[in-house]
Amino acid sequence: MDNYENCIVQYILDQPERIRPLLNQIRDSIRKVLPNAEERISWRMPTYWDGHNIIHFAAFKNHIGLYPGPDAIVYFAEELKEYKTSKGAIQFPYDRPLPLELITRITAWCYETGNHH
């Protein structure tokens, strides 16, 4: 495990215990699509980098934020209707199951299209 990866692990360990499994699920979903991307902390969030930042996620009080950038929000708008979104962010509330398959597709789209945050 390199230093950057250690940062992601530490970020997750620093979160409340009930949230850690959710963060690990998102991390695993992203890593499935981006096995060669470098994991690092950027903007105080776990970030996946391969020549540029591809996608970020972060834990907040009531949700996990996923940051794929504004183009992904537009592209996946129909599937994201049930979630709160802003220009480049999606909020997944803790009281609902994570849409891991959708997160995987968003990650792949960001990587394949070069659209990123």
Model pLDDT for residues 34-83, shown as the tens digit of each residue? 999 999 999 899 999 999 899 999 999 999 999 999 999 999 999 999 99
Name the H helices within the chain: 3-13, 20-33, 70-75, 100-113
Cα–Cα distance list, 16 to 67, 70, 73, 76 (Å): 21, 29, 28, 30
List the structure tokens of 26. Answer: 């998102």
Ramachandran area for residue 42 (φ above 0: left; ψ -120 to 50: alpha; else beta)? beta
pLDDT value at position 117? 57
Task: Give the domains, in start order, of the chain with CATH numbers.
Answer: 3-113 (3.90.1150.200)
User: Is the pTM of the predicted complex or chain greater than 0.85?
Assistant: yes
Look at residue 1 in the predicted model and tell me its pLDDT.
46
